[in-house]
């Protein structure tokens, strides 16, 4: 793909996260990177370009215009898309990249979308050599690469268990709220897509790799509350693809909460949100309170943070590791997405194709980039037992 016009095209550059991603690339991409901004509104794209203060090409493309997406995909080595909710708007871009042999990156946290794209486009992407990499932000890079880092600290070729404990402080954007509410409203479709993918995927030969729903318990000084997000699914797919995770791998994913009343209140609040999402008038009222494209201010983001602690055990060794950074949903997500694109475009990586995870496609190379960019990966303790 070295003869493509652009190394990277950012689609959705006028949205909240898209504009932050454009700012990150403008500040941190190599000077010789050939990249462009894309979206449906050229006037808004020009405003983003003016704010960046650099000369960069603008491409007009719309998810409702398949030809425009084909032209964009065929012009690029890597396409980043921040246009969501992905279950509603994402498939045309995946299809265009899979057909053109173009690497694809997104920020989805929607399990249904990930499973449906595997069923619809994985095989074609394998044929064309495209790498389709979902969940390249706070969902799910800290967990996917954090678990891989934890596994590297443990003995090889042994059964391994890992728990991930998430703590974060920040405020969601309107787009994130829309995605969450829409996901809650699609429980049946999510389950159908998950079951269809399990039937379609080839079974592992002589190995086991699973995400295990955990139970509420105390650990590391916190209440561990099971999280039903896309993240354990992504970790399990990495473990299935990589023999280094051992013959029998298990991962459980939790929110780490200090006080039990907060646990109870959070569970009750999520339950009410899930119920409201099933009722169209209530769902529309919730969506109306948050405008897609809005997000927290720079000052608020500067105060935000995340820490994910991993407890891994196997082969007579127990290790505790941590991945940490700043504002999880936006500043660090833009960083993760941008560095993923630069990694795919510029770094020497293992040969992969089809729908793959960040750990499989990029792994240590992306972790090296993120560490240089200020996200920390560290070992807290190691104990033999």
Q: Is 122 inside any structural domain?
A: yes
What is the predicted pLDDT for the residue at 13?
95
What is the predicted pLDDT for the residue at 73?
98
Q: Is 12 inside any structural domain?
A: yes
Residues 317 and 351 in one domain: no
Residues 175 and 316 in one domain: yes
The tally of domains found in the chain comes to 2
What is the predicted pLDDT for the residue at 329?
81
Strand partners, 169: 305
Residues 255 and 343 in one domain: no
Residues 295 and 275 in one domain: yes
Residues 200 and 321 in one domain: yes
Report the CATH number that the domain containing residue 342 is assigned in CATH: 3.40.50.720
For residue 21, give the nearest of 11, 32, 34 by alpha carbon: 11
Q: Count how many residues are written for the chain.
A: 385
* Calpha distance 314→17 (Å, rounded): 39
Q: Say if residue 13 is exposed, middle or buried (CB neighbours under 10 Å; 0-12, 13-18, 19+).
A: buried
Residues 183 and 101 in one domain: no
CA 189 to chain centre: 20
DSSP code for 76? E
* Calpha distance 287→282 (Å, rounded): 9
For tokens 């991930």, the residue is 164
Strand partners, 253: 164
Q: Is 380 inside any structural domain?
A: yes
Q: Is 263 inside any structural domain?
A: yes
pLDDT in tens, 336-375: 999 999 999 999 999 999 999 999 999 999 999 999 999 9
What is the pTM (predicted TM-score) of this model? 0.93
For residue 109, give the nearest of 45, 48, 35, 166 by alpha carbon: 166
Q: What beta strand segments (E) does 85-198 contain? A: 103-106, 131-133, 160-169
What is the predicted pLDDT for the residue at 272?
66
Q: What beta strand segments (E) does 25-70 contain? A: 35-39, 57-60
Structure tokens at 201: 């995927």
Residues 341 and 235 in one domain: no
Residues 308 and 355 in one domain: no
C-alpha distances (whole Å) from 321 to each of 145, 158, 166, 316 are: 11, 19, 12, 17
Q: Is 371 inside any structural domain?
A: no
Q: What beta strand segments (E) does 227-353 contain? A: 248-257, 305-314, 317-325
Residues 216 and 298 in one domain: yes
What is the predicted pLDDT for the residue at 297?
84
Q: Is 289 inside any structural domain?
A: yes
DSSP 3-state assignment of 78? strand
Residues 114 and 18 in one domain: yes
For residue 253, give the nearest of 194, 283, 211 by alpha carbon: 211
Question: Which residues of the chain are modeled with pLDDT < 70?
Answer: 1-2, 171-179, 261-276, 287, 290-294
Q: Is 1 inside any structural domain?
A: no
Residues 182 and 317 in one domain: yes
What is the predicted pLDDT for the residue at 283?
73
End-to-end CA, the chain? 50
What is the predicted pLDDT for the residue at 295?
73
Question: Could you give phi then psi for residue 337, rounded to 5 degrees?
Answer: -65, -45
For tokens 């791998």, the residue is 249
List the domain range (segments joined by +) for residue 192. Answer: 141-327+376-384
Q: Is 341 inside any structural domain?
A: yes
Structure tokens at 52: 């960046």
Residues 147 and 129 in one domain: no
* Calpha distance 126→178 (Å, rounded): 32
């Amino acid at each position: 793909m070295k003869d493509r016009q652009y190394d990277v095209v950012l689609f959705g550059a006028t949205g909240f996260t898209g504009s932050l991603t454009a700012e990150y690339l403008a500040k941190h991409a190599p000077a010789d990177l050939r990249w462009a901004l894309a979206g449906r509104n050229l006037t808004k794209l020009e405003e983003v370009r003016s704010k960046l203060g650099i000369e960069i090409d603008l491409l007009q493309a719309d998810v409702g215009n398949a030809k425009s997406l084909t032209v964009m995909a065929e012009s690029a080595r890597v396409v980043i898309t921040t246009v969501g909710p992905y279950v509603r708007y994402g498939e045309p871009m995946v299809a265009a990249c899979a057909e053109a042999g173009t690497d694809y990156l997104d920020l989805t946290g929607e399990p249904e979308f990930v499973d449906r794209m595997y069923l619809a486009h994985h095989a074609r992407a394998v044929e064309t050599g495209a790498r389709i990499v979902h969940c390249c932000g706070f969902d799910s890079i800290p967990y996917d690469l954090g678990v891989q880092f934890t596994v590297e600290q443990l003995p090889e070729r042994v059964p391994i268990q890992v728990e991930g404990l998430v703590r974060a402080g920040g405020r969601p954007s309107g787009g994130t709220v829309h995605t969450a509410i829409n996901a809650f409203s699609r429980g049946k479709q999510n389950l159908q897509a998950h079951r269809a993918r399990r039937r379609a995927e080839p079974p592992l030969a002589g190995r086991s790799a699973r995400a295990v729903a955990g139970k509420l318990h105390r650990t590391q000084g916190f209440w561990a509350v099971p999280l039903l997000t896309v993240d354990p699914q992504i970790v399990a797919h990495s473990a299935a693809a990589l023999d280094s995770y051992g013959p029998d791998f298990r991962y459980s994913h939790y929110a780490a909460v200090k006080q039990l009343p907060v646990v109870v209140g959070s569970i009750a609040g999520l339950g009410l949100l899930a119920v409201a999402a099933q009722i169209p008038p209530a769902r529309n009222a919730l969506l109306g309170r948050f405008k897609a494209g809005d997000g927290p201010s720079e000052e608020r983001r500067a105060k935000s943070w995340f820490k994910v602690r991993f407890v891994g055990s196997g082969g007579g060794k127990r290790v505790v590791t941590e991945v940490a950074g700043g504002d999880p949903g936006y500043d660090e997500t833009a960083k993760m997405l941008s560095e993923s694109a630069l990694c795919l475009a510029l770094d020497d990586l293992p040969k992969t194709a089809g729908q793959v995870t960040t750990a499989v496609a990029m792994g240590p190379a992306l972790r090296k980039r993120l560490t240089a960019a200020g996200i920390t990966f560290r070992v807290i303790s190691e104990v033999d037992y």
